[in-house]
Structure 1
Amino acid sequence: MVSIKDIAKHAGVSISTVSYALNGNPKVTEETSKRILAVAKELNYVPNAAARSLKKRETRIIGAFLTTFEGAFYGKLLQGMKEEMNKRGYDLVVCSGTQSHRMLSEGMLDGAIILDSLFSDEELLLHANRGHKLVVLDRELSHENIVQVLLDNKAGATFAMDYLIRQGHKKLYAVTGPEGSFDSEQRLAAARQTVARSGPGIRYEEIPGNFDMASGIAAAARIVAEYDGPAGVFCLNDEMAIGMYHALKETPYRIGEHIHVVGFDHIDVADYVQPRLATVDYSERRWGSVAAEQLIKLIEGNGAAEHERIYVTLVEGDSVKRAAG
């Protein structure tokens, strides 16, 4: 592999002069710079990216750390990140698993966006203390090198539960997300608060879930087994709601008639299932874009980075009808 030492030897100049020329430093005259660049081209010189990033202390690469790649949620989120980063001269790598965490500590990234429950708060704070720039999407952390770009989970869950209660439903379920999930904990807390505020007469139960279709299928089986009249169900994400649709097709019970369902995330399929799923909507693409924008501000140190909240709305659908009577 050709090195700058080889170029210096062929061009009859010092190694430092070659380095200056390759980096466009005005210390080298235009004539000398052209000669060095011609030699580099003739020798098929390829810059050593690792060495260059070590010297400049930048890679122009940002990592997005995810717990999993499963489900319909991540595509638009990552696309929003990628578009914003590319616009600002950065590239995106997507990482998952504990072994990938060393990419931060080994300086392979200029910064990272975290949506990964495998990172502990303590680990992230350690990285921040070492000067690494982070945006978190899945927790609340206070540090000068960390910016929070969080989804308004509490508002969304409140919208969903209020919708079911306004439609007159007295028997309510919440199908939860995985244990330890920030989004699930926030949504569940708001669901409980909404039920508590609604006064007496509401029967409310929680069914453990895992943000996947299998959880929705299992939840549907339980609701059918104890069915004693119309029930309103808040699935804490759309994947579980779609699982309920699949499970109930094999039963006499119908969504929007016997079981009334609200989801969260407004994934594409929610608009095509019948009856149309009521769900909590927000822009995954904008969430990713805002996260990338704030991280780059943090990396470039212009003092403009700030915490952001991604707002949500309720999309009504025929999966929820007014309770009889």
Structure 2
Amino acid sequence: MVSIKDIAKQAGVSISTVSYALNGNPKVTPETSSRILAIAKELNYIPNAAARQLKKQESRIIGAFLTDFTGAFYGDLLQGMKEVLNRKGYDLIVCSGLQSHRLLPERMIDGAIILDSTFSDMELLDFADRGHRLVVLDRELNHPAVNEVLLDNKAGANLAMDYLISMGHKKLYIVMGPSDSFDARQRMIAVRQTLDRHPEVNAVLLEGDFNQGSGEAAARTIIDQYDGPVGAFCLNDEMAIGLHNYAVSQGYRIGEQISVIGFDNIELTRYLQPRLSTIQYSKHRWGAMASEQLLRLIQGEDVDHERIYVTLVEGDSVKRV
């Protein structure tokens, strides 16, 4: 691999002069700088990012860690992160999997936004103790180097449940999310709190995994047990879409025989007929806020935890019984 020492030798100048030229330092005359840059191009010189990072103690790169890349959820979230970071001169890399965790201890990134259940709380607290700056979207952690930007899951689940009950539904199916999902656990806390307030409601809990397949499985169970109009709260829209599509394929009328409400207001719900009732929030704002908070942490500013608020979107997939 070509080094700045090789360029210096061919140009007949010192290594420091080459370094100045490559970094655009005005200490080098335009003529000398042009000659050095031409030699660097001729030799196919590639800057050593790791060495530059070690010298400057920064990479200007932020890592977003996700459990996986499936589903229609992540696009707006990541775009919100990217826009804020790019405006501040940072780049964003998106990571998944256990091997990517080493980017933090190896200091290949300046900070991290975590939406990844493969990180344990203890692992993240250990990184924070070593001085890494983190923003978490999927857990609560008490550490001065960690900021929480959390979705108001409980409020959203309460809105969904109260809406179904206010429309007269006394029999409900709850399609849950994966057990390792913070959002799913928070939503289920609110579901159980609502059911405690409404003992007249008969609720059946069904396993789910935040994908359309588990929504289809839930629909099969509902149809097998069907004896009159029911309501179904799917803890995310992917499952609601799966439930909706399977029930319709079996001749059931959504909004009349089976009322369905989801959570997330993903773009795919716009194409369902009838339109899906759901819980909405700005995923773009969530991502942007995460980046803003992380950059404040990196700059040594004091930051308060933030919460992303939710609203109910009423659609014809839920009707009064």
Q: Give TM-score, length-normalised by structure 2.
A: 0.94
C-alpha displacement at 1:12, in angstroms? 5.0
Are the counterparts in 2 of residues 10 and 39 from structure 1 also a CA contact under 8 Å? no
Q: 1:158-173 counterparts in 2 under 5 A?
A: 158-173=158-173
Are the counterparts in 2 of residues 176 and 210 from structure 1 also a CA contact under 8 Å? yes
Q: Distance in 1 between matches of 2:31 and 2:197?
A: 77
State the match for 1:226 in structure 2. Answer: 225
- AA of the residue aligned to 1:190: A
State the match for 1:244 in structure 2. Answer: 243
Q: 1:246-265 counterparts in 2 under 5 A?
A: 246-265=245-264
For structure 1, the residue ranges without an aligned partner over 5 or more in a row are: none
C-alpha displacement at 1:11, in angstroms? 5.2
Q: 1:71-110 counterparts in 2 under 5 A?
A: 71-110=71-110
Are the counterparts in 2 of residues 2 and 43 from structure 1 also a CA contact under 8 Å? no
- Give the fraction of aligned pairs with identical amino acids, expressed as a percent: 64
State the match for 1:123 in structure 2. Answer: 123
Q: Secondary structure at the match of 1:318?
A: coil
C-alpha displacement at 1:100, in angstroms? 1.1
C-alpha displacement at 1:127, in angstroms? 1.0
Q: Distance in 2 between matches of 1:54 and 1:39?
A: 27
Residue number among 23, 37, 43 corresponding to 2:39 in the alignment: 43
Q: Give TM-score, length-normalised by structure 1.
A: 0.92
Q: Distance in 1 between matches of 2:50 and 2:32?
A: 22
C-alpha displacement at 1:141, in angstroms? 0.6
- Runs of 4+ aligned structure 1 residues displaced above 6 Å come to none
- AA of the residue aligned to 1:307: H
Are the counterparts in 2 of residues 65 and 96 from structure 1 also a CA contact under 8 Å? yes
Superposed CA deviations along residues 160-211 of structure 1, whole A, max 9, x for unmatched, are 000001111100121000012100000011011012112x311112101000
Q: Secondary structure at the match of 1:92?
A: strand
State the match for 1:178 in structure 2. Answer: 178
Q: Distance in 2 between matches of 1:12 and 1:252?
A: 82
Are the counterparts in 1 of residues 11 and 39 from structure 2 also a CA contact under 8 Å? no
State the match for 2:3 in structure 1. Answer: 3
Superposed CA deviations along residues 57-108 of structure 1, whole A, max 9, x for unmatched, are 1111111111111100011111111111111111111111111111112111
Are the counterparts in 1 of residues 110 and 132 from structure 2 also a CA contact under 8 Å? yes
Are the counterparts in 1 of residues 11 and 35 from structure 2 also a CA contact under 8 Å? yes
Superposed CA deviations along residues 9-34 of structure 1, whole A, max 9, x for unmatched, are 45555434543554466xxx74x454
C-alpha displacement at 1:35, in angstroms? 5.2
Are the counterparts in 1 of residues 133 and 298 from structure 2 also a CA contact under 8 Å? yes
Residue number among 289, 302, 311 corresponding to 1:313 in the alignment: 311
Are the counterparts in 1 of residues 137 and 149 from structure 2 also a CA contact under 8 Å? yes
Q: Distance in 2 between matches of 1:320 and 1:174?
A: 15
Root mean square deviation of aligned Cα: 1.7
Are the counterparts in 2 of residues 260 and 321 from structure 1 also a CA contact under 8 Å? yes
Q: Distance in 2 between matches of 1:225 and 1:277?
A: 23
For structure 2, the residue ranges without an aligned partner over 5 or more in a row are: none
- AA of the residue aligned to 1:132: H
Are the counterparts in 1 of residues 22 and 37 from structure 2 also a CA contact under 8 Å? no
C-alpha displacement at 1:254, in angstroms? 1.5
C-alpha displacement at 1:275, in angstroms? 0.8
Are the counterparts in 1 of residues 18 and 36 from structure 2 also a CA contact under 8 Å? no
Count of residue pairs the alignment pairs up:
317
Q: Secondary structure at the match of 2:262?
A: strand
- AA of the residue aligned to 1:315: V
